[in-house]
Structure formats: structure tokens, C-alpha cells
Structure 1
């Protein structure tokens, strides 16, 4: 455990920096809105819209996204329940979360994983939307830190999980369906 102590100290210091300033309430208000765009509802709506409106690319997009989530979600659940990393406000009385998270543990960030998964899928099928989708994913990850529910490493690991799951799904879609 001593090998991760420096990372934990950096995480805590970064969270204190992000949450302990005079504009934290205003930043949290914007962050709450950004975070809500990553709750999952928009992913489903986007998938259905692309499926219906962009034949035949939409079917490949939808298939790749479904497969990526089928890969990502069990890994996410297993990691959360194996690491059982406490959330930032549990580490220090100086930290306060601006929202109530949907589960108990913080590692990895599921919102961030899902956002980077979708950004990767979007970028593969619609390259012109890659940069905006990636920026949106970064904002979702940042919002989770600024709301006090995740540490920086939770977000980084979530991003890696999401992108990795998307790339594996894209490889399978390419091999199975000849798409992408």
C-alpha cells in the first residue's frame, strides 16, 4: 500500500485545490449540469437516433456502442467493488461533495468511462465530431472532480477504461461485420 500513498496524497491535494476556492459553489452549479449530460440517457438517445437516421453506419455505431458498454460495465463494477476506494469527502473533513453519488465507491469514475467510451465511438464513425466529443468527455470527467465525488486518478482510470472498451468493441465490430 505504501507505493500508492504518494498518488493518494496528490489526489487529495488536487481535490482540495479544486474544491476549496471562493467560486466552488458557482463552479459546482455548472459542473452539476455537465455531469448530468453523462448520466446515460443521452447515450441511448444518441444511439437510437444514429441507428434510425444514418443507414447503414448507424447500425454499426449502435452495435459498437452496445458491445463497448457490455465490455466496460462489468469491468467497472468489478473494479469498484474490488478496490472499494472511498470518495473524496470521506478522506478529509475539508472536502464536501456537491451531489450524492449513485454508489459508494469512487474508483473508477463511471461517468468518465462512459463519456470517453462514447467519444471514442463517435470519433471512429464520425471523425468530424471527434474533437467536440472528446472535449465533452473531458468536461464530464472534470465535473466529477469539481463536484467532489471523484479523485483525479478515478477520472483518469475511468477514461482509460472507457477508451479501451471502445477500442476492443471497434476491433470486434470490424472483424465480425467488416465495418468501421
Structure 2
């Protein structure tokens, strides 16, 4: 009679080839782009998408004007939803971060884990929410953009999407996450943007 390992492969062993492929591709991308892209640029993208930066900004929008509530309220609630959901998923899967991850110090316990990427979910949430709000705008947000930034709203939206995609990609290139972490985080972020737009606007 064979051993249990031989007769009934465990679930982790079924995922092992996929996880190995993910780690191999992620490491290849990290090594490939490390000499090309300046680390300070990747770190700047990291800081720009940090919760400790994005949440105070969204709170400031809410306090600045009640007319911006259609943007600021789903933004604030969505960021809190993202923080809780990503933390819960990380603590459930507990995937270790890349071993070549340089100088990464966790702020909270969940940040010790890699799957999914919180930065990727956050930036894709922001881009998705802003896209939906601008697409269904009553004029307030568009007027605000043209008055404060002096750019067409469409250009600002394009800039936000580019920032979101580049920032999410930078997580792999910086060695903070594996590729599948980023893809999963991006998927969660888009869903959060839809949920925040549909159900968290008051």
C-alpha cells in the first residue's frame, strides 16, 4: 500500500507548478529591469500609492467641500474596504514575499504577506472609481479638475490609469510582490471601485 503522499496529492502540490512559474517569471522581471529603472522612481510610485498618503488626501477632499461628497465619500469608504479586505485575504493565504525583496519592513502583520498586492488593489480601485465617477459626472468633478488642474478631465483620467498600471507593475519590478499577487490585487481593486461607485455613494 502506497503512502498518502503518493496516492492522494495534497492541494498545495497541485498549485506548486503555478506558484513556481509565478516566482520564476517575477524574479526574471525583477532582475531584467533592476539595472534599467532607477530605484528611487519605483519607491516614489510605492509611496504615492501608500494608504498613509491616499487616505489623508481623500479625507482632505471631504473636509474641503461638501460638494465633493460624490467623490470623497466612496473614496474614503472604498479605501477602508480595501484595507480590510486585502488584510483578510493576506492573513488567509499567508504567502511569503519574494526572498529577494530588499529592505521591506512590515507596517502591520498582514503586510508581512504577499498575496494579494495592496498597492495594486488600491491604485486600480482609485482609477476605476474615478473613471466611473467621471463617466457619470454631473459636472462638479469635471469643473473642479478644469479649475484646479487646468487640464481636460479626459487627460487627467488617462494620467490616473497610467499611474495605476505603472505603479502596480512596479511592485514586481521592485521585488515587493510576485506577478500573480499584482494581478489578483488589480482584480480586487477594480471590483472595489465598482462596489464603491454603486453602493457607497451617499
Residues 47-68 of structure 1 deviation map (CA, whole Å, 9 limit, x = unaligned):
2454466762x11111111221
Q: Tell me how many residue pairs correspond in the alignment.
A: 168
Cα deviation per residue 1:1-26 (whole Å; 9 max; x = unaligned)? 23322321221121221122484374
Q: Over residues 99-150 of structure 1, what are the superposed CA-to-partner deviations in whole Å (9 max), with x where a residue is unaligned? A: 4142211001111111111111221223523322121111111111111110
Aligned counterpart, 1:100: 104
Give the secondary-structure state (helix, strand or coil) at the position aligned to 1:97: coil
Cα distance change on mapping 1:126 and 1:46 into 2, 3 Å? farther
Give CA deviations for 1:145-176 in whole Å, capped at 9, x if unaligned. Answer: 111110011001111111111211111145xx
CA gap of 1:119–1:101, structure 2 versus 1, over 3 A, is farther
Stretch deviating more after TM superposition (154-163 or 130-139) = 130-139
Structure 2 counterpart of 1:9: 20
Deviates more, 1:37-46 or 1:4-13: 37-46
After the TM superposition, which segments of 4 or more aligned residues of structure 1 sit over 4 Å from their partners?
A: 52-55
Aligned with 1:30 (options 41, 44, 53) = 41
Superposed displacement of residue 71, structure 1 = 2.3
Change (3 A) 1:123 1:100: same
Secondary structure of the residue that 1:69 maps to in structure 2? helix
Q: Report how far residue 75 of structure 1 moved.
A: 1.4
Query: 5+ residue gaps in structure 1?
Result: 90-95
| Alpha-carbon distance in 2 for matches of 1:22, 1:140 | 14
Contact 2:129 2:196 in 1 (8 A): no
Q: CA deviation at 1:37?
A: 0.9
Measured on the aligned residues, the alpha-carbon RMSD in Å equals 2.3
In 1, the alpha carbon distance for the partners of 2:200 and 2:34 equals 45
Q: 1:66 aligns with which of 72, 76, 98?
A: 76
> Is 1:43 the equivalent of 2:70?
no
**Which range moves more in the overlay, 126-135 or 73-82?**
126-135
CA separation of 1:73/1:42 partners in 2, compared to 1, >3 Å: closer, same or farther? Answer: closer
The counterpart of 1:113, out of the listed 98, 116, 121, is 121
TM-score normalised over the length of structure 1: 0.81
Flag structure 2 segments of 5+ consecutive residues without an equivalent: 1-11, 136-153
